[in-house]
Structure 1
Amino acid sequence: MGRLNRTKDTLFSVISHDLRSPLSSLYSLLTLLNMGSLPPERLALHSARLTRGLNSTLQLLDNLLNWSAAQMKDDKIRPERLRLDVLAEEAVALLLADAERKSIFLQNQLPVPTLVRADLNMTRLILRNLLGNAIKFTPESGTVILTAALHGFYWSISVHDTGIGIPVADQERIFGKDGPFTTLGTAREKGTGLGLQLCKDFVERNGGQLSFTSAPGQGTTFTFTLPVAASEAAEMAPLPATAAVVAG
């Protein structure tokens, strides 16, 4: 009962603060449009700002729904053979506009193919959140690189950034040990503190581990592991770039 109450309190808090604000901004802009009182240059400025806000809100809502579902029931995972390199390219494409706005060099350096056995939707969320966080906390003209190395029966996947790093005092809090924890990004981007909590939960449900190393002012590296796909999959020839799920 205590866990459900904490989940309920977090949901109400996020809805009242993080979801209400961008929706209020959208309402205000639509009101101004209906009044016909916005000159073209101000309309362009407000539209760009609102687009960024709504993109962040959609990502927040995605995290919130996944987190609340994971808290309220024991979600079953559906492991399958996946082309992690293809999923990484998909995540990079989704986040490229965010990186370009801050002139951040974003690159996927995963080997082709990188074959893992994991839940497709959980893996997508892990990649999207870790890359999104790296962009959020990296200043302009920085770098975010995704790499992977094979260690026995596991792939070790790392997201390196040249960002501001995590203060030592905050490092024990970022996985939500004492409840959701969040700070503003380098361009004052907001969050709810649910993303890393979800990543850790989903990585562990797929048989892996999530860890990080960080130094203030010197960047951060988040590393997670996922099981290698069955040996016959590892010997397969590279598949087309669009084939994220490997049959068999």
Structure 2
Amino acid sequence: MARKGFNIKLKDFYSLGCSDSLNIYEVCKLGIINRLTLICILLALILITVNLSIGNYQGILIDILAILTVLIPVLTLNYFHKYRAAEYVFLWGIHLAVVAGAIHAAFENRPNEIELLLIPSAIAVVILIDGFGQWLLFISNLIAFLILKYFIAGLDNLGYIKLVAIVAVAYTGIYYFVIQFKTQLIRALHKTERLNEELIEKEKALTESNLSKDKLFSIVAHDLRSPLGLIQSLLDPSLINSLDRQKFMDYQATIRSRFKVLQENMNNLLAWAQSQLGNSKRIVSHFDLVTEVDKIIDLFEDMTASKQIKMIRIGKEERMVNLDKNHLNIILRNLVHNAIKFTPENGAIDINIEEHAGATLIQIIDSGKGVNDEMKIKILNSKLMESGIGTQGERGSGVGLSFCQELIKKNKGELRIIDNSSGGAIFEVRFPTI
């Protein structure tokens, strides 16, 4: 248990300063620097203990300076998300430590190969740094290596020339192969990151789609069963036989009204299902908008008559548009049906058609209870929602207005929902004039 807790703390240390803004490659670099810094701190502490036992106080001073001036600042910079500064401090610190150690050993007249650590530090430069800083550190690393080799080893001219040639080839190989590996690795990491983002987006879309479908089936089961049950009860032979002619006519009007609501809900569900399957293509044609609006008014004549609602069209007698006629009919049917549903008896609905700022404007103005802010957001974001209950107990499928917004966007239009100053709501659809 204690070991598990220690491993967790160690992992937390390795990810010190990590943030969501970093990509995979940057997170890897951060982890490498934190690991190497921890290793360097442990090595420095070991060297302090060893130097203390042999009385090498200069070595102790160098180790303490390395911890205080390089290693702790690196961790502090990472903690405050100053990653680039931490990289430079770390790499320059390694160079200074190695050079200082090599010079100290040379003055002590002891054979020493500590400067060889500059080779792995050159690899670290290529991995951790990009751009001009990479060249600067890499070249300074090479120069430090050659200078230390010459002074510490005491090579003759021929030996030094051979060393320069060998080191030049070695460093060129290091630079070329490591930089190629780094480039390919970064490309692979970025590709993986993009694929992960796409996968997350697809998973999110699939989750939302499943939730929408679950909600849709719930709505269908609840809201379509009710009008079907009502129609079935109204068609009961024993009930019909007990009615006189006038009451029978009234019941017939009620059945027609309920049936139209049911038919409208079924049309919405079928059109919405078709769009979800990708079969709802936009087919643009040139037609008169006013004629289509008048057809919609006639379609809902029974419903407006049963609630004694006065519905009139305002505007010109002709307005030619270039839209998908089927989409427009679905949009108008849903907006008008919604207005009738929430307009009380003896209310009024105006349908205004006009040209405004280079666009065709359709306004459905009702005298109902209006639309609250939460519902506006759901409608404008094409979200399925629980259907509201109309003034005579009417229930919908919860699909209509959301599907409307989807079709309006497909036809490059815009939907606005405005509070009517005299009560009710204004559903305003704006289509660009083509």
Question: What RMSD, in angstroms, separates the aligned Cα atoms of the two structures?
Answer: 2.4
Whether the 8 Å contact between 1:64 and 1:194 is mirrored in structure 2 is yes
- Structure 2 distance, partners of 1:105, 1:26, is 26
Residue 220 of structure 1: how far off its partner (Å): 0.8
- Structure 2 distance, partners of 1:215, 1:40, is 43
Residue 126 of structure 1: how far off its partner (Å): 0.9
Residue 237 of structure 1: aligned partner: none
Residue 289 of structure 2: aligned partner: 84
Q: CA, structure 1 residues 208+9, in 2 after alignment: closer, same or farther (shift >3 Å)? A: same
Whether the 8 Å contact between 2:353 and 2:362 is mirrored in structure 1 is yes
Residue 243 of structure 2: aligned partner: 40
In the alignment, structure 1 residue 94 sits paired with structure 2 residue 299:
yes
SS at match of 1:133: helix
User: What amino acid does structure 1 have at the position aligned with 2:276?
Assistant: Q
Residue 224 of structure 1: aligned partner: 429
Bigger mean CA offset, 65-74 vs 117-126? 65-74
User: What amino acid does structure 2 have at the position aligned with 1:189?
Assistant: E
Residue 344 of structure 2: aligned partner: 139
Q: CA, structure 1 residues 215+168, in 2 after alignment: closer, same or farther (shift >3 Å)? A: farther
Q: CA, structure 1 residues 20+197, in 2 after alignment: closer, same or farther (shift >3 Å)? A: same
Q: Which structure has more RCO (C-alpha within 8 Å, separation ≥ 6)?
A: 1
- Structure 2 distance, partners of 1:6, 1:96, is 36
- Structure 1 distance, partners of 2:353, 2:309, is 20
- Structure 2 distance, partners of 1:206, 1:218, is 30
Whether the 8 Å contact between 2:240 and 2:248 is mirrored in structure 1 is no
Match of 2:272 among 34, 44, 67: 67
- Structure 2 distance, partners of 1:24, 1:150, is 45
Whether the 8 Å contact between 1:157 and 1:223 is mirrored in structure 2 is yes
In the alignment, structure 1 residue 15 sits paired with structure 2 residue 220:
yes
Whether the 8 Å contact between 2:361 and 2:429 is mirrored in structure 1 is yes
SS at match of 2:219: helix
- Structure 2 distance, partners of 1:174, 1:7, is 14
Q: CA, structure 1 residues 49+66, in 2 after alignment: closer, same or farther (shift >3 Å)? A: same
- Structure 2 distance, partners of 1:169, 1:99, is 28
- Map 1:128-167 → 2, pairs under 5 A: 128-167=333-372
In the alignment, structure 1 residue 6 sits paired with structure 2 residue 229:
no
Whether the 8 Å contact between 1:163 and 1:217 is mirrored in structure 2 is no
Bigger mean CA offset, 38-47 vs 93-102? 38-47
Residue 245 of structure 1: aligned partner: none
Whether the 8 Å contact between 1:163 and 1:220 is mirrored in structure 2 is yes
In the alignment, structure 1 residue 187 sits paired with structure 2 residue 412:
no
Q: CA, structure 1 residues 81+56, in 2 after alignment: closer, same or farther (shift >3 Å)? A: same
Q: What is the number of equivalent residue pairs in this alignment?
A: 227
- Structure 1 distance, partners of 2:239, 2:340, is 36
In the alignment, structure 1 residue 121 sits paired with structure 2 residue 326:
yes
Q: Under a length normalisation based on structure 1, what TM-score does the superposition of the two structures give?
A: 0.81
Q: Under a length normalisation based on structure 2, what TM-score does the superposition of the two structures give?
A: 0.48
Q: CA, structure 1 residues 213+90, in 2 after alignment: closer, same or farther (shift >3 Å)? A: same
Map Cα deviations across residues 14-70 of structure 1 (whole Å, 9 max, x no partner).
Answer: 33122223333444455x31x688402475555443332221110000011111211
Whether the 8 Å contact between 1:167 and 1:216 is mirrored in structure 2 is no
- Structure 2 distance, partners of 1:127, 1:223, is 11
Whether the 8 Å contact between 1:208 and 1:224 is mirrored in structure 2 is yes
- Structure 2 distance, partners of 1:60, 1:107, is 24
Higher strand fraction: Structure 1 or Structure 2? 1
Report sequence identity in percent: 28
Map Cα deviations across residues 65-88 of structure 1 (whole Å, 9 max, x no partner).
Answer: 111211232622001112000000
Q: CA, structure 1 residues 20+36, in 2 after alignment: closer, same or farther (shift >3 Å)? A: closer
- Map 1:169-180 → 2, pairs under 5 A: 169-175=374-380, 179-180=384-385
Whether the 8 Å contact between 2:224 and 2:397 is mirrored in structure 1 is no
Q: Computing the radius of gyration over CA atoms, which structure comes out larger, 1 or 2? A: 2
Higher helix fraction: Structure 1 or Structure 2? 2
Gaps spanning 5+ residues in structure 1: where?
230-248
Whether the 8 Å contact between 1:167 and 1:215 is mirrored in structure 2 is no
Map Cα deviations across residues 168-217 of structure 1 (whole Å, 9 max, x no partner).
Answer: 45332344655323211122211122111111111110111011101597
Match of 2:312 among 86, 107, 114: 107
User: What amino acid does structure 2 have at the position aligned with 1:151?
Assistant: H
- Structure 2 distance, partners of 1:216, 1:59, is 29
- Structure 2 distance, partners of 1:70, 1:108, is 30
